[in-house]
Amino acid sequence: MNTSFRLPLQYVLPLLGLFLFVFPAHLAAQGAKQNASLSVEGTSEYYFGEIEQSDTVEHTFVLKNNGKETVEITRAKASCGCTATVLSEKVLAPGKKTEIKVRFTPPRGSRNKVTKTVSVYVKGQEAPHTVLRISATVKSYVDIQPPSIQLTNMKQGEQVKTAVTITNVSDKALVVNTSGVSLTSYRDADDSGRKQAFPMQGGSVSPTTLNLAPGESKSLAITFKAEHEGQINGSVGLKIGNNSNVVYLFGIVAPKDAK
């Protein structure tokens, strides 16, 4: 028994016409995406060298449309809020160029080499077409050990004491001023199932000012009361001339009756 099925001719012809119409259009759309051809004149990476923590530096990248179709740049997205971008032209005809000015200010507490990226997106493409990179070595006048403090074995109501060691790694005498302890407790205060942020009071730093000769190290004591159970995050700010550093603190406070 022959069970094969054949569409009548009057249905085949319209379907064939639809296929011939849609398929070339689909290929054309793919071709438009593939033809987006931007090149960076020079290099896609730029190194600013050594900079101060208080510096703001700029570099301009130049991109050229080497394709046969007009290209529209939809955005130039920086990887960090410390990096800003300004695009001179968004729509580029074949052979035309655009400038992307990248401005970088080191985040507070930056030390040593820092690298940031700028992703350039083109209309019709989900992934970045081009990734630009900037980097700088942020001058550090002090070495802080540990650079961040993970607080352990804390119980509610206890007085917590910890410390860091600060060493002058420059060739000049330094004065390090502290801005005190900033701490936040995250807890479910109203049994709603949601954690809320509450500033903590009573933290202290001793001494509040450190005078360090070249190569000299001194200890900085940090004290606070673990008033509430739950997660705590915080920092101690350090000011050295126009430069800033920060020591981060984090940990979990256990209930006072925890074993």
Own/partner long-range contacts of 126-130 (Cβ < 8 Å, ≥24 apart): 128/77, 129/36, 129/38, 130/38, 130/40, 130/44, 130/63
- Residues 155-177: what's their mean pLDDT? 93
Per-residue model confidence (pLDDT) at position 18: 44
149 lies in the same domain as 249: yes
Name the band, by pLDDT with cuts 50, 70 and 90, for residue 137.
very high
193 lies in the same domain as 239: yes
246 lies in the same domain as 146: yes
On whether residue 30 sits in a domain, the answer given is: no
59 lies in the same domain as 148: no
Distance between CA atoms of 46 and 59, rounded to whole angstroms?
8
82 lies in the same domain as 134: yes
Q: Give the percent of the chain with pLDDT over 70.
A: 86
On whether residue 106 sits in a domain, the answer given is: yes
On whether residue 32 sits in a domain, the answer given is: no
Name the band, by pLDDT with cuts 50, 70 and 90, for residue 6.
low
Last residue of a domain, one of 138, 166, 182: 138
On whether residue 166 sits in a domain, the answer given is: yes
Per-residue model confidence (pLDDT) at position 242: 80
Per-residue model confidence (pLDDT) at position 3: 47
Residue 159, domain CATH: 2.60.40.10
- Residues 236-243: what's their mean pLDDT? 87
153 lies in the same domain as 237: yes
156 lies in the same domain as 73: no
For 83, the token pair is: 């990096």
Last residue of a domain, one of 122, 138, 154: 138
On whether residue 22 sits in a domain, the answer given is: no
CA 146 to chain centre: 22
150 lies in the same domain as 247: yes
In tens, the pLDDT along 62-93 reads 999 998 999 999 999 999 889 999 999 999 99
Distance between CA atoms of 92 and 98, rounded to whole angstroms?
7
> What are the phi and psi torsion angles at 81 (to 5°)?
-65, -15
Q: Which domain holds residue 54?
A: 38-138
Name the band, by pLDDT with cuts 50, 70 and 90, for residue 36.
low
164 lies in the same domain as 247: yes
134 lies in the same domain as 153: no
Closest C-alpha among 110, 75, 92, 114 to residue 36 = 92
Per-residue model confidence (pLDDT) at position 250: 93
Last residue of a domain, one of 138, 165, 193: 138
For 197, the token pair is: 């942020």
Distance between CA atoms of 114 and 53, rounded to whole angstroms?
11
In tens, the pLDDT along 193-217 reads 888 898 988 899 999 999 999 999 9
Domain count, the chain: 2
